[in-house]
Structure 1
Amino acid sequence: MKHCLVFNYGSSTLKYAFFKGLRKLRTATLKAKSVEDCKSIVREVLRTAQRVDLIAHRVVHGMDMDSPMLIDHAGLQKLRELTLFAPLHNTLALAGVEVCIQELPHVPQYAIFDTSFFKDLPFTSRAYALPTELYQKGVKRYGFHGISYSYLLQETARLMKKRVNTLNLIMLHLGSGASVCAVQKGKPIDTSMGMTPLEGLVMSTRAGDLDPGVVLYLLKMGKTPEEVESFLYKECGIKGLTGDGDMRRLIEDARKGVRDAEKALSLYVYRIKKY
C-alpha cells in the first residue's frame, strides 16, 4: 500500500498530511508566509518521513489544466510559467516542489490544481467584456478553491443522501482567502474569484472586487507594477481596514465594540451577502 504525502500551500499557512492508502496517518497546519518558511517546513517534513512513495501538491492556479499533472521536467517548467498568474500562492507551491525534487528526486510528484473544478464554467461566467484576443491568450475567469469545493460537493451529497448531479448549492470557502461558488445540477456555474485570487469577496489581506481605476491611480502615483501587486495581495482587505488581517482577532475586537473592527466586519459580511 502506497504512502502518500500531500502539501497544501495557502496564503498564510502550509498544511501537510501523510496517508497510507486512503487512511490518514498524520496531519499538521503551520504558519508559512514566505518562500523560506515553505522550504524550511517541507525540508523538515521530508527529513522526518519514514517512507514516501508519492507526493501531491495543491497548486492554486492551473489556468486551463483539467487534471492532475505529473511534475517531470516539462511539468516543472509549466509550474514556473503559472506563477505569473498567482504569485502569492504558486510561488510557495513551486518552492515546495523544488525542495521535494532536491531531497527525493526519484519519488513521483503531482500537481493538483484548484482551477480544474471550474474548467467547464459557461462563457457568461468565464469571460470578461474585453477583446476576444485577450480571452484567447488566457485573460478570463478561472475560479479558485476548487479542491475545497469538490470536497464540499461530494460531502454534501453524502450527508443529504442525494446524487451529486441533483444538487443546486451556494458554497462558501472562508479562510485567509475567501470565495463563493454556485453549483447547478452538480456543476459549477459561477464563482466570485476571477483570473486571479484577487477578485471577489473581502479577504484577510486582499480587497476583493476593485475598480481597475484604483490600480491606474496607484501607478500614476509612482508605484511600480511589482509594488502594486504586493500591495493588492498583502496590504488590503481586513488588514488594510484595521491594520491586522487575523479574522479571529477581528471578530473579538468587533464584539468588544472596537469601531474599526465593527466597520470592517460589516463590510466583510455585506460583500458575502451581496454575492
Structure 2
Amino acid sequence: MLILVLNPGSSSLKYQLRRLGPSDPSPGILLERAINSPQEGTLDPVFLGNVFDVVDAAIRDITGGERPDAIGHRVVHGGDRFSSPVRVTQTVMDDIQELVEFAPLHNAASATCMRAAAARWPRTPQVAVFDTAFHRTIPDHASRYAVPDELHTKYGIKRYGFHGISVEMASRHTGTYLGVPPGALNAVVAHLGNGASVTAVREGRSVDTSMGMTPLERLVMGTRSGDLDPSIVTLLQRRGLGPDEIDELLNHRAGLLGLAGSADMRAIQDAARQGDTRAILASDMAAYRLAKYIAAYNMVVGGAAALILTGGIGEHSSRFRSQVVSRLGPLGLFVDEARNRSAETGVRVISTDASAFPVLVVPSDEERAIAEATAGVVLSDESAIRCVNE
C-alpha cells in the first residue's frame, strides 16, 4: 500500500511517501521532503496545487507510474469531536476549520491541505490523524480549569494536549522494548522539540499532559513562554498591547528565543559551553521546569516504569538530557554518561543500572504513526464495504 503522509505547518509542508505491505509491517520511506511557502504564515491553495503537481510526478517516477493508495494528514487540534483517526469528508474538513481558533496556525493549514489534495487526487481516500486524540482519556479533574463552568460548556475551555501521535508511538515502542503488555505501561513521556510537552501515561493511556487548550502551556519551548502568571497578560493589555500582539509575543518571541536570542537548542548548548550567561540561564530554566513536571507526573502515574525522552532534542541533545536527569536524583534516576553520549540509534537506555527505573531515548517518527493509522482506517473501511456487499 502506497501512502502519502502530509504534515502541514503554518507556512510549510513536510511530506513523505511510504510503502506498507503485508510482508513489511513498518512503512518504508520512498520520498521525503519539506517545502516552505513563499508567503509567510499561510499555505496558499495555489502554492499547494503546484507542490502536489511536483509530488505526483515524483511519485510516478519513483514507483513506475503508481499513484498514492491513501493520504494521511497530521492535524494538530481535534477538539472534543475526534477521538481517533477518521476518513476525511467535507464535514470533517468543516469541523477542522471550525477548530481554527484553538490552533490558528495549524488547523487552517490542515484544512487547506486536505482540499488541495482532494483536488489533485480526487479518488484517493484521505485520513485525518489528530495530535489531541491520544489525550481524550485524561479525566476531568486533570483536564478542567478552575474557571466558571459556562466557560467550559460554552467555549470548550479545557486541557486538550498535543504531541499525542508521538507519545502514543513512543509508549508502544517502550512497552515492546521492556516486554510490558499493551495497556500495562506506566511511564512519563517527554516529547522535546521546538515545541515540548510531558505526558503521564498510566496503563497505556494519557491521564495528564503539560500542554493545555493550546500548545502554549507549561514547559519552556523554542519560542513559547510556557507557564506564566495570567495577570501578566492583563498587565500587557493595560500597557496597550492587543490580543494579537500578546499572542505573537508569547507564542513566537518568548521561550528560548526570548531568553537567549535563539530557539535552537543546539546553538544554545554551544553558547552555554562557551560561558554565555543568557544561554546558560535559558538551558537551566528549560531543564528545571521539565524535571519539575517529570517528577510531578511520576506521582500521577503511581510510580513510573520508565521515563521516555523523544523528539529532536530528546533524541539528539545528550547535554540537555544530562541536565534534566541530573535533577531527578530524588526519584532514584541517574544518567550513565557513556550510554548517554553513545552514538547508538534506536530505542536505548541512558540511565545507570542502579536507577529506580530506566530512562530511555526513543526515536520519534510521527509520519510512520500517521501512515500506519491511515492504512488502518482505509483497510477497515474496505473490509466493512466488502462485508456489506457480501
Q: With structure 1 as the length reference, what TM-score do the two structures score?
A: 0.91
1:68 to 85, 104, 114: 85
- How far is the alpha carbon of 1:95 from its aligned partner? 3.3
Query: Is the Cα contact below 8 Å between 1:17 and 1:27 reproduced in 2?
Result: yes
> What's the CA shift string for 1:17-37, capped at 9, x where partnerless?
212224323253536474248
1:118 aligned to 2:141? no
> What's the CA shift string for 1:203-224, capped at 9, x where partnerless?
0010111211121122222222
Question: Counterpart of 1:146 in structure 2: which amino acid?
Answer: G
Query: Is the Cα contact below 8 Å between 1:35 and 1:95 reproduced in 2?
Result: no
2:214 counterpart SS class: coil
Call closer, same or farther: CA 1:42–1:248 in 2, change over 3 Å. Answer: farther
1:205 is matched with which residue? 223
- How far is the alpha carbon of 1:191 from its aligned partner? 0.7
1:83 counterpart SS class: helix
2:120 is matched with which residue? 103
- Cα distance in 1 for partners of 2:57, 2:256 equals 37
1:209 counterpart SS class: coil
Aligned ranges 1:86-235 → 2 under 5 Å: 86-137=103-154, 138-235=156-253
2:226 counterpart SS class: coil
1:63 counterpart SS class: coil
Query: Is the Cα contact below 8 Å between 1:15 and 1:27 reproduced in 2?
Result: no
Which runs of no fewer than 5 residues in structure 1 stay unpaired? none
Larger radius of gyration: 2
- Cα distance in 2 for partners of 1:223, 1:247 equals 29
1:183 counterpart SS class: strand
- Cα distance in 2 for partners of 1:169, 1:205 equals 27
Higher relative contact order (CA 8 A, sep 6+): 2
2:3 counterpart SS class: strand
- Cα distance in 2 for partners of 1:41, 1:269 equals 39
2:42 to 35, 38, 41: 35
1:188 counterpart SS class: strand
Q: Which moved more, 1:96-105 or 1:121-130?
A: 96-105
- How far is the alpha carbon of 1:269 from its aligned partner? 0.5
Aligned residue pair count? 274
- How far is the alpha carbon of 1:230 from its aligned partner? 2.1
- How far is the alpha carbon of 1:15 from its aligned partner? 3.3
Question: Counterpart of 2:59 in structure 1: which amino acid?
Answer: A
> What's the CA shift string for 1:184-240, capped at 9, x where partnerless?
121211111111101120100101112111211222222222222222221111111
Query: Is the Cα contact below 8 Å between 2:210 and 2:219 reproduced in 1?
Result: yes
- How far is the alpha carbon of 1:113 from its aligned partner? 0.5
Q: Which moved more, 1:44-53 or 1:135-144?
A: 44-53
Call closer, same or farther: CA 1:45–1:142 in 2, change over 3 Å. Answer: same
- How far is the alpha carbon of 1:74 from its aligned partner? 1.1
- Cα distance in 2 for partners of 1:29, 1:272 equals 31
Question: Counterpart of 1:17 in structure 2: which amino acid?
Answer: Q
2:366 is matched with which residue? none
Question: Counterpart of 2:72 in structure 1: which amino acid?
Answer: A
Moved beyond 4 Å, runs of 4+: 10-14, 40-43
Query: Is the Cα contact below 8 Å between 2:83 and 2:133 reproduced in 1?
Result: yes
Q: Which moved more, 1:15-24 or 1:241-250?
A: 15-24
